[in-house]
Structure 1
Amino acid sequence: MRRTSRPHSLTAAPPRPGNLPHELNRFVGRSAELAAFDCALSATRLVTVTGSGGVGKSRLVAHALARTAADAAPADGVWRVELAPVRREELVEHAVVEALGLTDHTPRPPRQVLVDHLAERRLLLVVDGFEHLVDACAALLRDLLRAAPGLRVVAVGRRPLALEGERLFPLAPLTAADAVELFADRAAALLPGFDLDDGCRDDVLEVCRRLDCLPLSVELAAGRLRALSPRRLLERLDDRFRLLTGGGRDALPRHQTLRTTIGWSHELCTPAERLLWARLSVFCGPFDLEAAEYVCSGEDLPADTVLDTLDELLAQSVVAREETPAGVRYRMLDTVRAYGAEWLAGIGDQGRMQSRHRDWYLGMATWCELEWFSPRQSAVAARVEAELPNLRAALEFCLTEPGQTHLGQYLAGTLWFYWSGCGRLSEGRHWLDRSIALDRGDADGDEEAGHGEAGGQGEHGGARLKALWVLGYVAILQGDTVPALAALQECHDAAERGGDATALAYAVHRTGCLALVTDDLPRAERLLRDALVRYREIGELNSNVLMGQVELAMTVAFRGDLAQAAALCEDVRQVCEDHGERWTLAYALYVLAYADWAEGRLARARALLERCLAIDHEFHDLLGTVLAVELLALVTVAEGDAAEAAVLQGAAARIWPSVGLPLFGSAHYNAPHALCEAKAREALGDARFEELTRAGERLGHDEAVSRALRNANPPPPRPRAVGRRRAETQVVLHPLSAEGDPGTGGQRA
């Protein structure tokens, strides 16, 4: 029997199981979230579902509880109170009373009415849209939960209530697959016969991705199909706030357009929170606290207040917090970021914020280049990977703003270790080509006069020279020899005219490397030895210098002097171990393994190559990886397993197109490959060899590495796009401005 309290003064509305609204269209996706929500609700009496505007918090809760109501609803029902229309804190209690259908004619305050009514009931209360009334709502729910042991509460809002016993349930956007399904479902309701298979699936996927897979944004976008095709819709998304308007007549006012949805959160922010929101929009992708403090602080927002202000934006789901293997990072959804960017432009502060953002990432890149030659090499690689979206934004700013080309050249050149060592040759080539091309016309004119940046004597000539030798290096690794030679020759001539010994040493070194991969071994040896002498004279010691010694070792090995090659690489190995350097070490191990294979020491060669491959795989160094796999195939066929050697050659063939010209088109680099193929074909026959090679080509990258390591568990590749720990955030800011000269040098011992 249903129990009531104080029947003499309180009458309830006619008995009913609750007031949850019925769903009018199909609920899409979220199966994992629904299961997790059910578990959370069964484990605690207060669950607060948080998330950004439009992420689908209310709909998920309504759907989850509708299922509960159909199966095992609380005895006294599931009741929902919508607080968005309530503007004053003292009216919160009245809104709950009204939602429960209660009337009371006594002088008791409404809170007491609620306590008395709920005291002995088993009831689930949904409080939706409380974020603008959080203090009053939290105080009321605390009292009700204490007084009514049979009460459970689901709070739905953009921030926590911060109550004891509260279990947070942060809701993320949809997966891409669920977002596409939602778009298709709403589009089909609007346009009968709409089908994703009509050649528009890719456009719809990109629309959903550009809208952060926010359910509200996706539904509003689908509503535009009355007038626009998916392709036209995609083209107009740059002005998403103007495009995505409408929504159903029964939608809450704050949900009828994307702008008002985000604006609802903006209205709830203090002036300091709004200012930080606007300034944070300058970041692309994840950022850390130190970056936010540097970039966003000022007289109107002191650095020591940024943390507390950021914490409030986190609480309101404007900013999301991410736990990564390397520590905590923050990000804003693109839609939220775009809203902040409009405000930043409106207050006229966009250029200054972009300049501060650029300075931070120039300083970070400088620090990372220095730290690359250290035991922190893996952490540096992971950090640059995590910061890549922001580094791209800084590069783009430098290369599009007048007077900043030299800063773009410096930044693109400073990241040489990332382009060459972490599988980003193509992207590095893009930025380097752009930065050099921007002032090439001016530089050519200056060359004729014998002065200016091209001569290395201009105010910012050092940045250009650094970009030139790095461009040459990246082009060499891609097997693109003509542009490589042009860049290195330009760097050499300009550095020689300007007396820049550092840039000249790098130009000589990389020209020697080019001679090596184009089979001009005598010239390669002469230039590489010359470069190493120059490095010693200027006191240069870093991964580049050690790589020059490895390249010299490979040159003399190809010329038949395996003993000298091994001695050179043993010296490199010792220096690497002394300094904690591992990237160059992998290449030294490769040369040592080559020498051991040539001398018939197969077990030792395999052990060296397995260590080499593990390091290359960790750094995502595709060139090092594919060279190691090629040589492992040769060792494998020498060990008598021709079938496995054929599989490994196939795996290498699949990787090469992601690097550049296979084996640089070099007869010397190709010799082990050709020998392996000849031996394997002889043992297997052409048909079987081709069959096994095709099997190798079907292996994914990680599978190929695992196979090369004899199906052992290879060390996992360094996670892409991760953050870093607080202990690793002591960034030495490079004191750069648009007027500064970043220079050219590498790391010096």
Structure 2
Amino acid sequence: MGGSGSRGAACLPAETTSFVGRRHEVAEAKRILSVSRLLTLTGVGGVGKTRLAVRVAEQLLRAFADGVWLVSLAPLQDQALVPYAVADVLGIRDETDRDPLAVLVEHLREQQLLLVLDNCEHLLDACVRLVGTVLTQAVEVRVVATSRHRLCLLGEYLLEVQPLPVPKREELARGVAAAKRFPALELFANRAAAVVPGFAITAENLEAVARLCSRLDGLPLAIELAAVQMRILQVDQLVERLDDRYRLLAGGNRAALPRHQTLRSTVDWSYDLCTPREQLVWALLSVFAGSADLSAAEAVCAGEDVERVDVLDVVSELVDKSILVAVADGSSIRYRLLSSLRDYGLEKLNELGKAPTVRGRLRDYYLRLAEEYERQWFGPRQLEIIAHLRAEQDNLRAAFDFCLTTPGEARLGLKLVGTLWFYWSCCVLRFEVRHWLRNLALCEGVKPRGAPAKAQWASGVVSLIHSRSAAVLQADDRSGRPVPEQADPPVISLADIVSDRSDLMSFAVLGRVELACSLVFRSSPERAVQLCAEALAVCEAYGEQWARSYLLRTLAMAYWAMGEFDSATTHARDCLRLEYVVHSPQGLSRTLDVLAAIAIGQGAAERAAVLLGASDKIWHRISRGQSTAQQQTGRIRVSERRARKTLGDRGFERAFQRGLTLSTDEAVAYSLQERSEAPSRGAPQETTARAASSGLTPRERQVAELVAQGLTDKQIASALVIAQRTAEGHVQRILVKLGLTNRTQVAVWLTSTDPPGERPQPR
């Protein structure tokens, strides 16, 4: 069992500048995606492939029940990380040791979504393997790829993204109003007005602007870089300088200059207009695979040629010149280079002979940051620390890549992996930590020990806690399986741990949680409660939430096993009130499972079924393969067995479906309230529950809703970007499944007041 993904979810970047032109390309891309499942946008660098892909995805959001998702591959250098990156964006948090591509495909098999893979050209083999596998095994997934090269897969449609149209000389004679409709001129005017307020295309400057855009071949990135120079030059001066540069580059033959060389020449020009310090900082910042905050920029750029206090001024100048993009991230500002400009910066850095030194400086900065965060981990800043490290994910990968590809650096890479044990464990990034540990250890021919072993130990003990807890909740007897009386292993007092060793404190608490889970499993819940008491007090005193969530859940489970349901409920709800748990899908789902078991103990079978539905919806979204594996091995929770026995299959499914309709916030609110009624969400959610229990697929539910709105098969096909024959087939299957004979009855059925799960009778 499991819930469908959130309808219309979008993982797309917010536009910081206006989108200009491309109406024909957007329409053509949408048409292609209605008949094909793979569209590759090709074209030279700087032509606007990414912006076009994002715009197409935005306009198709309503057509995909499980959303549209952008995966930026530009920061990656390792082919093996491609499936990890896609899984990470989709929020997949698998806790098994299976192949990441297999986990990804299993997750996508029931999804109806659009996946946008941006910048595939440097990871072509991995992208071909991933896309080919996904399209073969996940039939409701469509893919848009941007690449300078085609993927060469069966069924692939190509759409070459051309430069923006520029008016010819005879078209300029039609006047300013007609010429301004050309996207290249519109883009230049828009970007120039951002640096010269009030700038507009007039009869006086029309010819110069048109000539400038023509010189730049209509390439959007080149036009944007040129427009920034309006701060210091007039349009005529821009044209004159470009003409001089192109004559030198092409030996006087303008036609000999290919488009990719046009962009290169424009970037060269932008580089030449920078001061020596700006040129150097541009090159230094290129070692960041993703965005960077000011602290990171200062740490990497400050050296013999740039003072730390000067970095902010230089960064600000590069932002003003559109070399860097500044993006607000909560209370801080992060800076990033566009992919083409980063590649250029790396080239300059290599020419300076500084690349190895600066990449090492980047690694050292993140190692220091990891060590500082490890010291602070057992305290009140955990959510802030995790949010910052998530923002630094691409740069952490760059640091690991440096350690992996540079002789003699693997040991420090292993140290960085181990120091980040709390990050891997908290964010459930088992795929990635295994990848780096394995490859770095192989590189050095050593076994992980010391700091690297922390990551392995933390992963292992958390897995033990989860497996023991699951075993208890799946047992017929609340107290697990009886075993002979055993003496508890010696447990060190938490008061004896050095206060500034955050890692030791975290490990000591997790060790107690693991032992407490084992005691509950061994029918000794009273001893488990005693074991957790001191640890809980310490966590509360430090303002710590991560380990505390494990303690509270374990205490709730122990009191449940003892039959003290009020105490069990109190601890489980205290767990839900932790901000960390609300932001942790795994923690939230496991807490709902415990509350469902408690509800059964209190005789509230319907409430238990609703909680199980809410829990399964979360698991289904983040780790479909894991919940499926549990069902296939017959490991059903005792709360589900008993709820079914009390309510009957029909009653259980009704309550379970109500749980599936709850959002995360609603599931938490329902869990914290005393009454058993799930919150009412109105007709649309009731409709979803009815449709789900009637056997309609997510796509068929979409079609049924559009039928009820009076849309024809052709209109449905257009709205959902599918072929008309496909829409007709969906309608016929809906009628058969519901036992209806016409479209009007579908509308009546959707708006009926029958209880969820009731099948309408044919009329």
TM-score range, shorter chain: 0.5 to 0.7
Separation (CA, whole Å) in 1 of partners of 2:679 and 2:270: 51
Separation (CA, whole Å) in 2 of partners of 1:306 and 1:597: 58
- The equivalent of 2:510 in structure 1 is 547
How large is the Cα RMSD of the aligned pairs?
A: 4.6
- For the pair 1:585 / 2:590, whether they are aligned, the reply is no
Separation (CA, whole Å) in 1 of partners of 2:351 and 2:574: 55
Correspondence list, 1:598-613, <5 A: 598-613=561-576
Per-residue Cα deviation, 1:670-720 (whole angstroms, up to 9, x for no partner): 99x63311221122111232344355446555554454344799xxxxxxx
**1:232–1:634 CA distance, 2 compared to 1 (3 A):** closer
Separation (CA, whole Å) in 2 of partners of 1:206 and 1:648: 50
Identity %: 34
**Structure 2 counterpart of 1:371, one-letter code:** Q
Q: Structure 2 length normalisation: TM-score?
A: 0.53
Separation (CA, whole Å) in 2 of partners of 1:700 and 1:342: 48
Correspondence list, 1:101-112, <5 A: none
**1:677–1:363 CA distance, 2 compared to 1 (3 A):** same
**1:542–1:642 CA distance, 2 compared to 1 (3 A):** same
**Structure 2 counterpart of 1:553, one-letter code:** A
Aligned with residue 686 of structure 1, among 649, 670, 677: 649
Per-residue Cα deviation, 1:297-350 (whole angstroms, up to 9, x for no partner): 222222222111111112222223333324232223333323322322333322
Per-residue Cα deviation, 1:723-746 (whole angstroms, up to 9, x for no partner): xxxxxxxxxxxxxxxxxxxxxxxx
Unpaired stretches in structure 1, ≥5 consecutive residues: 1-54, 56-169, 220-228, 444-453, 481-518, 714-749
Correspondence list, 1:148-163, <5 A: none
Correspondence list, 1:662-701, <5 A: 674-697=637-660, 701=664
Q: What secondary structure is seen at the aligned counterpart in 1 of 2:288?
A: coil
**Structure 1 counterpart of 2:149, one-letter code:** R
Please report how far the alpha carbon of residue 248 of structure 1 lies from its aligned counterpart in structure 2 after TM superposition: 4.4
Q: What secondary structure is seen at the aligned counterpart in 2 of 1:329?
A: strand
Unpaired stretches in structure 2, ≥5 consecutive residues: 1-12, 57-127, 129-142, 152-159, 168-212, 220-261, 469-479, 681-763
- The equivalent of 2:94 in structure 1 is none
Per-residue Cα deviation, 1:395-419 (whole angstroms, up to 9, x for no partner): 2222232222222222222211112
**1:575–1:402 CA distance, 2 compared to 1 (3 A):** same
Please report how far the alpha carbon of residue 290 of structure 1 lies from its aligned counterpart in structure 2 after TM superposition: 1.6
Q: What secondary structure is seen at the aligned counterpart in 2 of 1:322?
A: strand
- For the pair 1:183 / 2:25, whether they are aligned, the reply is yes
- For the pair 1:401 / 2:388, whether they are aligned, the reply is no
**1:594–1:681 CA distance, 2 compared to 1 (3 A):** same
Aligned with residue 489 of structure 2, among 519, 523, 529: 529
**1:604–1:414 CA distance, 2 compared to 1 (3 A):** same
Separation (CA, whole Å) in 2 of partners of 1:696 and 1:355: 50
**Structure 1 counterpart of 2:489, one-letter code:** R
Separation (CA, whole Å) in 2 of partners of 1:260 and 1:244: 20
- The equivalent of 2:36 in structure 1 is 199
Q: What secondary structure is seen at the aligned counterpart in 2 of 1:197?
A: helix
Separation (CA, whole Å) in 2 of partners of 1:464 and 1:286: 27
Please report how far the alpha carbon of residue 591 of structure 1 lies from its aligned counterpart in structure 2 after TM superposition: 1.9
**1:626–1:232 CA distance, 2 compared to 1 (3 A):** closer
**Structure 1 counterpart of 2:450, one-letter code:** G
- For the pair 1:364 / 2:369, whether they are aligned, the reply is yes
Correspondence list, 1:231-630, <5 A: 234=147, 236=149, 248=165, 250=167, 251-254=213-216, 255-256=218-219, 257-439=262-444, 442-443=445-446, 454=447, 461-470=449-458, 472-473=460-461, 529=489, 532=492, 541-615=504-578, 617-618=580-581, 620-630=583-593
Separation (CA, whole Å) in 1 of partners of 2:461 and 2:365: 26
Separation (CA, whole Å) in 1 of partners of 2:584 and 2:418: 18
**Structure 1 counterpart of 2:147, one-letter code:** L
Separation (CA, whole Å) in 2 of partners of 1:202 and 1:609: 47
- The equivalent of 2:733 in structure 1 is none
- The equivalent of 1:642 in structure 2 is 605
Separation (CA, whole Å) in 1 of partners of 2:215 and 2:360: 38
Q: Structure 1 length normalisation: TM-score?
A: 0.53
Please report how far the alpha carbon of residue 619 of structure 1 lies from its aligned counterpart in structure 2 after TM superposition: 6.9
Separation (CA, whole Å) in 2 of partners of 1:414 and 1:280: 25
Separation (CA, whole Å) in 2 of partners of 1:682 and 1:612: 29
Please report how far the alpha carbon of residue 200 of structure 1 lies from its aligned counterpart in structure 2 after TM superposition: 5.6
**1:464–1:547 CA distance, 2 compared to 1 (3 A):** closer
Please report how far the alpha carbon of residue 376 of structure 1 lies from its aligned counterpart in structure 2 after TM superposition: 2.0
Please report how far the alpha carbon of residue 576 of structure 1 lies from its aligned counterpart in structure 2 after TM superposition: 0.8
Correspondence list, 1:22-171, <5 A: none
Please report how far the alpha carbon of residue 472 of structure 1 lies from its aligned counterpart in structure 2 after TM superposition: 3.8
Please report how far the alpha carbon of residue 233 of structure 1 lies from its aligned counterpart in structure 2 after TM superposition: 6.4
Q: Is the 8 Å Cα contact of residues 293 and 303 (structure 1) preserved in structure 2?
A: yes
Separation (CA, whole Å) in 2 of partners of 1:415 and 1:638: 40
Q: What secondary structure is seen at the aligned counterpart in 1 of 2:16?
A: coil
Q: Is the 8 Å Cα contact of residues 545 and 580 (structure 2) preserved in structure 1?
A: no
**Structure 2 counterpart of 1:195, one-letter code:** I
**Structure 1 counterpart of 2:426, one-letter code:** G
Separation (CA, whole Å) in 1 of partners of 2:627 and 2:148: 38
**Structure 1 counterpart of 2:383, one-letter code:** S
Separation (CA, whole Å) in 2 of partners of 1:284 and 1:613: 36
| Count of residue pairs the alignment pairs up | 466
Separation (CA, whole Å) in 2 of partners of 1:210 and 1:639: 64
Separation (CA, whole Å) in 1 of partners of 2:319 and 2:514: 50
Q: Is the 8 Å Cα contact of residues 586 and 616 (structure 1) preserved in structure 2?
A: no
Per-residue Cα deviation, 1:82-111 (whole angstroms, up to 9, x for no partner): xxxxxxxxxxxxxxxxxxxxxxxxxxxxxx
Q: What secondary structure is seen at the aligned counterpart in 2 of 1:203?
A: strand
Q: Is the 8 Å Cα contact of residues 410 and 466 (structure 1) preserved in structure 2?
A: no
**Structure 2 counterpart of 1:560, one-letter code:** S
Aligned with residue 50 of structure 2, among 213, 219, 223: 213
Per-residue Cα deviation, 1:417-458 (whole angstroms, up to 9, x for no partner): 11212343333333334334444xx34xxxxxxxxxx4x8xx
Q: Is the 8 Å Cα contact of residues 285 and 389 (structure 1) preserved in structure 2?
A: yes
Separation (CA, whole Å) in 2 of partners of 1:233 and 1:325: 29
**1:545–1:702 CA distance, 2 compared to 1 (3 A):** same
Separation (CA, whole Å) in 2 of partners of 1:232 and 1:549: 48
Please report how far the alpha carbon of residue 361 of structure 1 lies from its aligned counterpart in structure 2 after TM superposition: 0.6
For the pair shown, the structure with the greater C-alpha radius of gyration is 1
**1:236–1:705 CA distance, 2 compared to 1 (3 A):** farther
Q: What secondary structure is seen at the aligned counterpart in 2 of 1:403?
A: coil
Q: Is the 8 Å Cα contact of residues 576 and 582 (structure 2) preserved in structure 1?
A: no
**Structure 1 counterpart of 2:547, one-letter code:** T
Please report how far the alpha carbon of residue 217 of structure 1 lies from its aligned counterpart in structure 2 after TM superposition: 12
Please report how far the alpha carbon of residue 627 of structure 1 lies from its aligned counterpart in structure 2 after TM superposition: 1.8
